[in-house]
């Protein structure tokens, strides 16, 4: 066997564990671009039909003089203790009503009621000083 000039007779192969910085930078750039896009491509919406809530009988709440009940119908009309009212009147009457009710308010609404309307009423209750706001649901 003929030896080449400048090379030893026996060569050993050694692998060095070095990472090419160019490839590493490209990989990081790819992750930076794809990371926010993956959830957008894999997300999908599902329809959920929630069951009606099981709870104790709350029919006495509507007739108790020491309880404040705010009702919201599907059209967004407001009722304070079964009497029709509007948002401006509710803001004025609610602090007086809270004094008798020990700072608890019950909010009743239909499931077809706009959540924005319910959220507005909850904000009015909080601003009036309600310490406990309870949401009532339809009885099964």
Output the pTM of the full model. Answer: 0.54
Residue 39 lies in a domain: no
Beta bridge partners of residue 109, listed in sequence order: 72
Helix residue spans in 3-140 (DSSP H): 21-34, 37-42, 87-100, 115-128
pLDDT given for residue 60 in this prediction? 54
pLDDT in tens, 72-90: 888 888 998 888 999 999 8
Tell me the pLDDT band of 140, cut-offs 50, 70 and 90: very low
Contacts 24+ apart (CB under 8 A), 10-15: none
For a pLDDT cut of 70, what percent of the chain falls above it?
66
Residue 127 lies in a domain: yes
Residue 131 lies in a domain: yes
Residue 105 lies in a domain: yes
Q: What is the CATH classification number for the domain harbouring 66?
A: 3.30.420.270
Residue 66 lies in a domain: yes
State the Cα–Cα distance between residues 82 and 65, nearest whole angstrom. 12
Number of folded domains that form the chain: 1
pLDDT given for residue 134 in this prediction? 86
pLDDT in tens, 95-139: 888 887 777 788 888 778 888 888 899 999 889 888 888 887 655
Owning domain of residue 107: 59-136
Beta bridge partners of residue 70, listed in sequence order: 80, 107
Residue 34: C-alpha distances to residues 22, 41, 84 (Å): 18, 10, 54
């Amino acid at each position: 066997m003929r030896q080449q000039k400048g090379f030893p007779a026996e060569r050993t192969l050694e692998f060095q564990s070095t990472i090419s910085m160019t490839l590493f930078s490209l990989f990081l750039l790819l992750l930076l671009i794809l990371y926010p896009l993956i959830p957008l491509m894999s997300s999908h919406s599902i329809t959920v039909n929630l069951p009606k809530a099981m709870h104790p009988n709350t029919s006495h709440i509507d007739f108790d003089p020491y309880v404040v009940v705010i009702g919201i119908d599907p059209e967004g009309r407001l009722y304070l203790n079964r009497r029709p009212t509007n948002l401006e009147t509710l803001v004025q009457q609610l602090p007086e009503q809270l004094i008798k009710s020990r700072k608890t308010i019950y909010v009743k609404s239909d499931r077809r009621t706009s959540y924005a309307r319910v959220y507005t009423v909850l904000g009015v209750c909080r601003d009036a000083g309600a310490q406990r706001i309870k949401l009532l649901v339809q009885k099964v």
